[in-house]
Amino acid sequence: MAQVRPMRADARRNRERLLQAAAVAFAEHGEGASLDDIAKRAGVGTGTLYRHFPTRQALLEAAYLGRIEAIAARAGVIAAERAPGEALVEWLNELAVGMIEVRGMKALLGTAVTAGGSAVDTACGDCLRSAARRLVRAAREEGTLRRDVEPIEVLRLVHGVATAAEAADGTDGTDGRSVRRYLALVWGGLRA
């Protein structure tokens, strides 16, 4: 069995600097931010960037993993405070607003909910799908959600809601008005 060597201290520092620079660049320019610019901001060469993150997708996932895990964890908090159907709708609202607030996250989550997307089997996709499964299952058992609705369908719909709300409100759709309106319309079709 091959033994995994721990990352050298300088490599860890470079990785952290790259993640910090990527978060800033993605916030400013979205998922299309220049990787060369990210490497320059981090004070490393592009070769170092690609050693740590072989693809743009890998860098996006690493930069947003903490934020996505926090959104996924909110599912449990909300479920403890609300009835299952209400919890599902509130969590979907937070997820949609998060996709609009954090530029680049919507693109990343789009691949996480698209069949054959590279993020489907990553930590980002896994934690969101797990949270959605728990909430969907509870809402179906409660009888507020149609029994034929699948968790991946709900995630795809919320991705569409975020896209529509962003188009309706411009890039600053984070007040949630359009998100709540569109989710209410979608929920009407999902209700049992």
Q: What is the reported pTM?
A: 0.81
Q: Model confidence at 120, in pLDDT bands (50, 70, 90)?
A: very low
Average the pLDDT over 182-190 and give the result: 93
CA 126 to chain centre: 10
Rounded to whole angstroms, the Cα distance separating 64 from 70 reads 10
The ranges assigned to domains in the chain are 7-54, 56-190
**pLDDT tens digits, 3-34:** 667 778 888 999 999 999 998 998 888 888 99
CATH 3.20.20.70, domain 56-190, yes or no: no
CATH topology of domain 7-54: Arc Repressor Mutant, subunit A (1.10.10)
pLDDT per residue over 59-96, tens digit each?
Answer: 988 988 888 899 999 999 999 999 999 999 999 999 99
* Tokens linked to 40: 């320059």
